A and B are shown apart, each in its own frame.
Chain A
Amino acid sequence: MPPHDPGHPHTHDHDHDPPPLPGRWQGLTQPGGPARRSLRVGIGGPVGSGKTELVSCLCRAFADELSLAVVTNDIFTREDAAILERKGVLPTERIMAVQTGCCPHTAIRDDISENLDTVEQLEARFDPDLVLVESGGDNLTATFSYALVDVQIFVIDVSGGDKVPRKGGPGITRSDLLVVNKIDLAELVAADLGVMARDAEAGRGGRPTAFVSLRADQRAEPVADWIRGLLADRAAALTASASHGA
């Protein structure tokens, strides 16, 4: 898997002025203020594909490396919070849950108010390097607004069948990273990973796809590495922007 997607708006063409960081809020509260430091990563995907599991794996992977905060969208019960607490991967105060009024996709795309407000609260309080925004489980058309997140990951799993990448939908085709989870189950459900890889590549315009078994890889290493690449790029862009006197 390439370190990150070369086709994403994070282009690093510094021939002229550095490009503004995508997704940055340039509203009333920060007029011309400094670019925020944190990288915001959206995690979407159908119910049961492994979004919460990916969040806990990433918390574990970055525990000694980064300052982290998490926003979850309903239905985030005490059970989910307890999973993260019990695993000791993230202090409870760094996890905030928002309600989406039965419309998980609206809350990450059409009206991001509640999520954005919560992300900003966490940023103000903890100054994190990384904020993960986990969507409520939804269908293949659910995508994040780039006013809420800088990049988005879409999580599917092989037990839905190897036709899912071919079916497409914005989550599959437009996400910055497609994660195919539960590859350990492929044989049991007669899913052909080769077919999934081929269809994903064909439909995603060169954007990367990671095949993982989060049950076996409890640090989601391919995903963590992809995020490390983005963080390095972001740090470089912020430095360049500072040296331009922006």
Chain B
Amino acid sequence: MSPHGGVAALLLLADGRFPAGGHVHSGGAEAALLDGRLTGPDSLAAYAVGRLHTAGLVDAALTAAVVVRLGEDCDPRGCGPGRALRLLDAEAEARLAMAPLRESSRRLGRQLIRAAAGCWPGPVVEAAAAVDPDGPHQAVALGAVAHAAGIGPLDAARLSLHHTLTTPLQAALRLGGLDPYAVAALAASLAPVVHEVAAEAAEAAGGPIAELPCLVGPLTEIAAVEHAARTDRLFAT
């Protein structure tokens, strides 16, 4: 058991009440509702599965890779956590083709760092904060915070995917007036997908950084750009 927190820290970071800014994001669900791709529980399930296998896998693998590299970085050359974090931040940047998504990823990253700085203070969180003037990408921030909180790569990947899953579900619940019990049941039913994708992400995280998964849902990304230009939206993304 990690002295920093381990499972207890994992639960804290998975809790929607942790003040890291996630509640104003819909993971593309608002855009999908507005353009008619999301119409009810069935399409919501399909949307969530699609997200887990694309953006979810990319984020989870990056997050897990950060935890792996930070674990290795106690090296005798003493280059510290900064170099690994910058390299992985560049990989995250390269995987975010659309400007609004890059921007919101950094915004969420710095918001997570702000919330985590008081929880797990230390050089890793400080190095993550210093990766970019606008803050680290969200996946890099989550990996750094997970490492600082004593969470391993596989659990970090699960944590990332938990947010990939619950963000659009919660937003669709609010926007679409869905049955909250049905939405909770949907989330529970997708646990095997979360575990399967997390295992894939954790495995990739041990390999070369440049070969981390790189998958996009083109329609979701185009919709995100259109969504960012709307003035009547209730969610940031």
Contact = CB atoms under 8 A, between A and B. Distances in A.
A101 interface: yes
Contact of A28 (B21, B129, B171, B175): B129
Most chain B beta-carbon neighbours within 10 Å: one of A27, A106, A114: A114
B220 interface: no
Interface stretch (A14-22, A74-82, A160-168): A74-82
Range, interface on chain A: 20 to 34
Contacts, number: 71
A75 B115 contact: no
Interface in B1-40: 17, 19-26
Most chain B beta-carbon neighbours within 10 Å: one of A77, A107, A117: A117
A123 to B, nearest CB: 15
Interface string B221-237: 00000000001111110
A111 B235 contact: no
A113 B116 CA distance: 12
Given A28-B129, A110-B19, A99 B234 contact: yes
Nearest to A147: B19
B114 A113 contact: yes
Interface in B123-154: 125-126, 129
A35 interface: no
The A interface, classified by DSSP as helix, strand, loop or mixed, is loop
B23 A106 contact: yes
Contacts of A114: 21, 24, 111, 236
Contacts of A100: 24, 234
Contact of A103 (B21, B23, B26, B111): B23
The B interface, classified by DSSP as helix, strand, loop or mixed, is helix
Interface residues of B, number: 29
Nearest to A107: B24
A28 B24 contact: no
B106 to A, nearest CB: 10
Given A103-B23, A110-B19, 14 more contacts: A27-B114, A28-B113, A78-B231, A97-B231, A99-B236, A100-B24, A100-B234, A101-B24, A101-B171, A101-B174, A101-B234, A111-B20, A113-B115, A117-B110
5 closest Cβ pairs, A-B complex: A113-B21, A113-B111, A111-B19, A101-B24, A28-B117
Interface of A: 27-29, 74-78, 97-103, 106-107, 110-114, 116-117
